[in-house]
Structure 1
Amino acid sequence: MTIVGGGTTDSLVREDGVVGYIDVGPLTLESGYRLPRARLAYETWGHLNEDASNAVLIEHALTGDSHVARGQSREHAPEVERLAAEAGGWWDGLVGPGAAIDTDKYFVVCANILGGCYGSTGPATQAPPEVDPDQKSWGSRFPRITVRDTVIAEAVLSDALGIERWRLVIGGSMGGARALEWAVMYPDRVAACGVIAACASASAELLAWGQAQALAIRQDPNFRGGDYYDSEFPEAGLGLARRIAHITYRSAAELHYRFGREAQPNEDVDGTYTAERGRYRVESYLDHQASKLAGRFDANSYLSVNETLMSHDITRGRGSLEEVLAGTSCEWLVAGVDSDRLFFPAESAELVRALPGEQTLHMISSPSGHDGFLIEAPQLGMLLKKSVLKD
């Protein structure tokens, strides 16, 4: 795949949906810690136009990755690359040829978050010699990463790709927090901002849920203070953290109508459940979600990105919400999910009231709770076409 204009080099842009890497370190973090070396994993779709005015940055949520949509690997690519590129993305239907974020029209970029475990520097990656002469995994030594730190890293990627101004920066949940920080930190580099199922700061309730998830991991005997890479993986703790989180991602009504109080008869798992009832169906559902995440995610990275989400507060050290947002100059799409009980619609409304100019809170209707921002892609696509992507 080649790229036109923008001052970039062909080597930075891969085939659609194929992971690439870029060094963005050293980085001085918000905490003052100097991260000696850092890299971001990222994927691109489409072509950057001559004046680099058609670039869209998509921000993933807590345990997401850079594979936002299906892609196409190069001819004769290794099978592992081909399968990864052509696998379904987490926002398929919203992003792709002919979709609301049309990859025939826009140049789409999505990067794995700093601290993650899908190719970007995180706790499971080797520490540089400056930190560990033996270059073992960072583990417990990996520094705290804030939302602002992630945006600074992405700005380095933006520079390397030759993108001075994003046509749109958009994300849901923690991705929405990152998109909002882009608009605040780099107002001249964001033409439009989409904050979906997110708000101006992490609430006290979100912090409470975050602490419970972190303790679930840290209290697993296999966690070993975060230095477990040469021993047993803390699967039980990570699974419990995922169960806690997933309850907040779905609505009470959905859990009731999908599972109710029904049990799965004659099912006993490791002697946990009585033969008289087996697992309740909702227990089976949560067990499945826990097992899926434990099979694909690193426990330390979960702690890192969880702490990043908890750090979210665009007013921290800056002034009132209105004062902070007064410095932004982009178009806005703020959309909540009507059944969300993690980022409540009232919090999205508070953000809208503080934005400069006349703004509207849009609502995605979904019975599914917070995850509605992923599930109801057609509704979100219509909102995008009617607002910040009318051209």
Structure 2
Amino acid sequence: MIGGSVQFVPASKTAGLREVDAPNSLVVQFGADRPLKMDAGVSLSPLTIAYQTYGELNASKSNAILVCHALTGDQHVANTHPITGKAGWWHTMVGPNRPIDTNRYFVIASNVVGGCMGTTGPASLNPATGRPYGLDLPLVTIKDMVRAQAMLIDHLGIDMLFCVAGGSMGGMQVLQWVASFPERVFAAMPIATAARHSSQNIAFHEVGRQAVMADPDWRQGRYLEEGVIPTKGLAVARMAAHITYLSDEALQSKFGRKLQDRAAPTFSFDADFQIENYLRYQGTSFVDRFDANSYLYVTRACDYFDLAADYGGSLAYAFKSSKSRFCVVSFNSDWLYPTQASRAIVHALNAGGASVSFVDIETDRGHDAFLLDTPEFIATSHGFLNSAARARGIALAKSGAM
């Protein structure tokens, strides 16, 4: 059930705040009296947040789960995506009788600030100029994304989230939630993530950004005003990034050195190999659903993420006020956010006396394993959430509910 039975705050009772009907998402707009205070030292208003909900909020408002999306994800977690027509990006995890069971939980997912699926981002109109923000939008951090999510959760009238869950950049948001709002998170699932972006990951992101900015159609970020889109640069950025989401074993098993629809090499620069054709498809299909400037913004947000830096360099200190239950998940073939990054999170949580379980899942699927129907991951998530729900006193779903 999309939309749930949530009681929205009427616009007439909250100055500067209103719900907006949208064909593909729920949308809330915060006015000048509710600005987003950003790490860049400025306030952003008005602020629009696009989101989806699934399931129903119970009477005690104790069953809400916030799902945080990864770099190029969005709020369409379990419903058909309005642009691609494909199933939601986490349909393996969210839905009736899934680990995040919409018969039992009220699930919230919002597009991050800086994104391009309805939340304020560089493609949004700047009220001061009447033109798209472009690079005039202040740089966004993971903490800014979480602050905006907290504004949404306040709007929905929820004091404490039963769980915050997400992988990759979504996992960074989970960690930031626990650090920034320790009293508002009962359970946390940071998946395939890190508490700080490594030099290698910053380097990969910089290659992608430079590919976008080197495209003549980028026009210093003003391409929307000039009626062009830097599709070639954005496609190359996506191709490079996509390699990091897969493992060498998976690439070798799926593609190896197999040729694409030909018996012999063409001795040209066509896509002779299947892996070349696959990456080109990933690049060209990506530009149909993602904004180039948003790609610059969200990659930069990841690069700036270093949770311990705000706490005197101590990651354990970042978690010192948290009473949350944690399930930290990594995948042994993930070289983008390798297992040792998750172990560092676990060590910091242990140092602070947190209740934490850690699972390193053996798979050849690489970083993207958390997005796929990976059996051990599904089972781990089921077990953790069921245990936490019992502790929280959340009733089991009614048999046969949809």
Query: Does the CA-based 8 Å contact 2:52-2:109 persist in structure 1?
Result: yes
2:274 alignment counterpart: 281
Q: Residues 377, 84 of structure 1: CA spacing in aligned structure 2 closer, same or farther, 3 A cutoff?
A: farther
TM-score, structure 1 as length reference: 0.88
1:240 alignment counterpart: 236
State the one-letter code of the partner of 2:241: A
1:346 alignment counterpart: 340
d(CA) in 2 for partners of 1:266, 1:321: 53
Residues 144-174 of structure 1, C-alpha deviations (whole Å, 9 max, x = no match)? 0000000000111000101100000000000
1:162 alignment counterpart: 157
Query: Does the CA-based 8 Å contact 1:266-1:275 persist in structure 2?
Result: no
Asked if 1:61 is matched to 2:33, the reply is no
Structure 1 position 4, deviation (Å): 6.1
d(CA) in 2 for partners of 1:207, 1:239: 19
d(CA) in 2 for partners of 1:189, 1:297: 32
State the one-letter code of the partner of 2:138: P
2:259 alignment counterpart: 263
Match of 1:193 among 188, 192, 209: 188
Unaligned runs of at least 5 residues, structure 1: 72-80
Asked if 1:19 is matched to 2:33, the reply is no
Q: Residues 109, 13 of structure 1: CA spacing in aligned structure 2 closer, same or farther, 3 A cutoff?
A: farther
Structure 1 position 274, deviation (Å): 3.1
Instruction: Please state whether the residue corresponding to 2:87 is helix, strand or coil.
Output: coil
d(CA) in 2 for partners of 1:200, 1:213: 22
Instruction: Please state whether the residue corresponding to 1:202 is helix, strand or coil.
Output: coil
Structure 1 position 100, deviation (Å): 1.1
Residues 79-102 of structure 1, C-alpha deviations (whole Å, 9 max, x = no match)? xx9x67995111112111111111
State the one-letter code of the partner of 1:23: Q
1:75 alignment counterpart: none
1:303 alignment counterpart: 296
2:396 alignment counterpart: none
Query: Does the CA-based 8 Å contact 2:50-2:119 persist in structure 1?
Result: yes
Instruction: Please state whether the residue corresponding to 2:125 is helix, strand or coil.
Output: coil
Q: How many residues align?
A: 372
Q: Residues 296, 354 of structure 1: CA spacing in aligned structure 2 closer, same or farther, 3 A cutoff?
A: same
Instruction: Please state whether the residue corresponding to 1:23 is helix, strand or coil.
Output: strand
TM-score, structure 2 as length reference: 0.86
Instruction: Please state whether the residue corresponding to 1:48 is helix, strand or coil.
Output: coil
Q: Residues 160, 347 of structure 1: CA spacing in aligned structure 2 closer, same or farther, 3 A cutoff?
A: same
Asked if 1:254 is matched to 2:260, the reply is no
1:31 alignment counterpart: 40
d(CA) in 2 for partners of 1:266, 1:276: 14
d(CA) in 1 for partners of 2:363, 2:302: 23
State the one-letter code of the partner of 2:330: G
d(CA) in 1 for partners of 2:4, 2:45: 31
Residues 318-348 of structure 1, C-alpha deviations (whole Å, 9 max, x = no match)? 2211111222210001000110010001110
1:42 alignment counterpart: 51
Instruction: Please state whether the residue corresponding to 2:189 is helix, strand or coil.
Output: strand
Instruction: Please state whether the residue corresponding to 1:164 is helix, strand or coil.
Output: coil
Cα RMSD, aligned residues only:
2.7
Structure 1 position 275, deviation (Å): 4.9
Query: Does the CA-based 8 Å contact 1:264-1:277 persist in structure 2?
Result: no
Q: Residues 267, 316 of structure 1: CA spacing in aligned structure 2 closer, same or farther, 3 A cutoff?
A: farther
For residues 119-198 of structure 1, what are the structure 2 equivalents within 5 Å? 119-129=118-128, 132=129, 135-198=130-193
What percent of counterpart residues are identical? 36
d(CA) in 1 for partners of 2:108, 2:271: 46
Residues 262-307 of structure 1, C-alpha deviations (whole Å, 9 max, x = no match)? 2225599xxxx73598521111110010011011111001111111
1:207 alignment counterpart: 202
d(CA) in 2 for partners of 1:2, 1:233: 37
Instruction: Please state whether the residue corresponding to 1:21 is helix, strand or coil.
Output: strand
State the one-letter code of the partner of 1:264: Q
Q: Residues 9, 215 of structure 1: CA spacing in aligned structure 2 closer, same or farther, 3 A cutoff?
A: same
1:225 alignment counterpart: 220
2:363 alignment counterpart: 366
d(CA) in 2 for partners of 1:28, 1:223: 29
State the one-letter code of the partner of 1:118: M
